[in-house]
């Protein structure tokens, strides 16, 4: 599958068109920001195709630039979706997966997040997201969690770095609720959680987080996320390496019972937190 770092073509076209109209009127981004209820930085991101514009933004810019509907007509093609365009393909594949294997290093995978934890994660995103955008993203994330109890069941394993569990994203109450959620999820027959302890002196995960996903036709693909997008790995050699790394990570991590015990001790204050 192709690398998905590039912004969607529709967003790039809209961005170039809106920038062209602005420059034709010899107007700076700062001057445009003074005419509409949106920031200069947001205008820059939209013009580069990095942020999908809301319909209100398109209307405001169309009017401010005297575009006479040239931009407004593109709303159906560029309207913001629940998931970033570069993640849509992964979300669809995940919903149909026979098996999912995840290594997390900075925060919990979306399938493991409570509503409050997910909201805190999106509030941490920079550039900052608007409140409405955050709530749509939270609800979209929660919708993916139907996979946890889907029938037939999806087989899932998660290797979590210990600092992921110690990091109190959203504050103590949100953190405690998330730990309780992990203990509850660990009781599901199709889910296995393992913690990679800080005390571990050898570590196979130096290349960072990753996901392995088994499709309905029994093909395994790799998925890696980055700052500006994501990409799939489908070549057998690449998938083989990722599978080897993940297998080693699982052998280095605490087993499921010890991991559950660590989570419980973090929750009760009997372990470093």
Q: Which domains does the chain have, with CATH numbers?
A: 9-78 (1.10.260.40), 85-113+144-268 (3.30.870.10)
Q: Tens digit of pLDDT for each residue in 63-104?
A: 999 999 999 888 877 765 544 554 667 888 899 999 999 999
pTM exceeds cut of 0.85: no
Q: Residues 14, 20, 25, 28: is their CA dihedral positive or negative?
A: positive
Q: What is the largest CA-CA distance in the chain?
A: 66
Which regions in the chain score pLDDT beneath 50? 1-4, 82-83, 86, 273
CA distance 29 to 266: 49
Q: Is the dihedral of CA 109, 113, 118, 121 positive or negative?
A: negative
Give the pLDDT score at 226: 73
CB 114 within 8 A of CB 179: no
pLDDT at 123: 95
Residues 6 or more apart from 198 whose CB is under 8 A from it? 162, 163
31 Cβ contact partners less than 8 Å away, ≥ 6 residues apart: none
C-alpha dist (Å) from residue 39 to 43, 45, 73, 166, 228: 6, 10, 22, 35, 21
């Amino acid at each position: 599958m192709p690398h998905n770092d590039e912004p969607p073509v529709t967003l790039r076209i809209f961005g170039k068109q809106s920038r062209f109209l602005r420059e034709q009127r010899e107007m700076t981004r700062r001057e445009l920001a003074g005419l509409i209820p949106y920031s200069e930085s947001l205008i820059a991101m939209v013009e580069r195709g990095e942020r999908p514009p809301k319909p209100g933004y398109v209307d405001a810019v169309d009017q401010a630039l005297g575009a006479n509907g040239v931009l407004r007509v593109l709303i159906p093609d560029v309207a913001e979706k629940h998931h970033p365009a570069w993640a849509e393909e992964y979300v669809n594949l995940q919903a149909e997966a026979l098996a999912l294997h995840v290594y997390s290093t900075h925060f919990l995978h979306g399938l493991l997040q409570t509503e409050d934890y997910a909201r805190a994660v999106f509030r941490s995103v920079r550039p900052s997201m608007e409140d409405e955008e955050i709530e749509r993203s939270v609800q979209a994330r929660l919708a993916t969690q139907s996979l946890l109890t889907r029938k037939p069941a999806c087989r899932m394993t998660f290797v979590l770095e210990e600092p992921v569990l110690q990091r109190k994203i959203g504050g103590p109450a949100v953190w405690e609720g998330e730990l309780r959620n992990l203990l509850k999820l660990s009781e599901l027959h199709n889910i296995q959680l393992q913690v990679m302890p800080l005390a571990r002196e050898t570590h196979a995960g130096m290349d960072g987080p990753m996901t392995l996903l088994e499709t309905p036709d029994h093909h395994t693909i790799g998925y890696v996320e980055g700052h500006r997008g994501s990409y799939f790995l489908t070549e057998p050699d690449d998938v083989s390496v990722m599978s080897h790394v993940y297998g080693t990570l699982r052998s280095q991590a605490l087993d499921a019972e010890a991991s559950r015990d660590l989570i419980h001790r973090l929750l009760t204050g009997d372990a470093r937190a």
